[in-house]
C-alpha cells in the first residue's frame, strides 16, 4: 500500500513539474519572440500580456504542491535554534505545516467562489477568449491540493515524532 502511494505521488509530482516546465519554456519562447518581433519588425504579439499571465499562473501553481510537499518553501528560522535546543523542532515544523495547510483552504474556497462567478458570467480573456473559469479553476485546485499536501506533510512529521516517543 505504501509503495503504491509513493508511486502515485511520484507520478503526480512528475506530471506537475512537467506542466510547470512546459509552461515556463513557452513563457521564455513567447518573450523571445515578442522582443525579437518588436526589435526587428516593429510588431509585437498582441496577446503576449494575456499569455504571460496565464503561463505564469500555470508555472507557479503547478509547482506549488511539489514545493510544499518537499518542504522547499521559504522559511524564517529565527527561532529554530531555540526549538532545537528544546528538542521540539520536528514537532514545531509539523504543527506549522498543519497550520499553514489548513490556512490554504480559505483562499482555495474563495477561489472556487470566483470560479463559479466567472463561469456564470461567461468571463473570457480579452484577446484569446479563454474562459477565465478554466484558469481560476486550475489555480483553485492547485491551492487546495497544496493545502492537502501541506497538512499531510505536517501530520506525517507529527505522527513520526509521536510514534518514536511511544517506543
Assigned C-alpha cell, 23 = 509552461
CA distance 95 to 165: 16
118: pLDDT strictly greater than 90: yes
116: pLDDT strictly greater than 70: yes
- Cβ neighbours of residue 112 closer than 8 Å, sequence gap 6 or more: 140
Q: What is the reported pTM?
A: 0.84
Q: What is the mean pLDDT of the chain?
A: 87
Task: Specify the 3-state DSSP secondary structure of 135.
Answer: helix
pLDDT number for residue 93 = 84
> Would you place residue 2 in the very low, low, confident or very high pLDDT band (cuts 50, 70, 90)?
low
Contact criterion met (CB below 8 Å) for 106 and 140: no
> Hey, where are the domains in the chain?
2-166
Q: Which residue has the higher pLDDT, 81 or 62?
A: 62
DSSP-H helix ranges across 42-131: 48-70, 80-85, 89-103, 105-121
Ramachandran class of 45: left when φ > 0, alpha when ψ lies in -120 to 50, beta otherwise? beta
Amino acid at each position: 500500500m505504501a509503495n503504491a502511494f509513493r508511486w502515485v505521488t511520484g507520478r503526480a509530482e512528475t506530471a506537475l513539474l512537467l506542466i510547470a516546465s512546459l509552461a515556463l519554456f513557452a513563457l521564455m519562447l513567447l518573450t523571445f519572440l515578442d522582443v525579437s518581433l518588436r526589435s526587428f519588425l516593429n510588431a509585437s504579439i498582441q496577446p503576449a500580456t494575456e499569455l504571460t499571465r496565464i503561463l505564469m499562473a500555470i508555472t507557479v501553481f503547478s509547482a506549488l504542491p511539489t514545493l510544499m510537499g518537499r518542504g522547499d518553501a521559504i522559511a524564517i528560522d529565527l527561532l529554530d535554534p531555540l526549538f532545537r535546543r528544546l528538542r521540539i523542532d520536528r514537532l514545531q515544523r509539523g504543527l506549522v505545516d498543519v497550520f499553514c495547510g489548513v490556512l490554504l483552504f480559505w483562499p482555495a474556497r474563495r477561489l472556487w467562489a470566483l470560479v463559479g462567478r466567472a463561469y456564470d458570467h461567461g468571463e473570457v480573456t480579452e484577446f484569446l477568449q479563454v474562459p477565465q473559469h478554466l484558469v481560476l479553476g486550475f489555480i483553485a485546485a492547485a491551492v487546495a491540493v497544496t493545502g492537502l499536501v501541506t497538512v499531510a506533510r505536517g501530520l506525517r512529521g507529527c505522527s513520526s515524532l509521536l510514534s518514536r516517543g511511544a517506543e
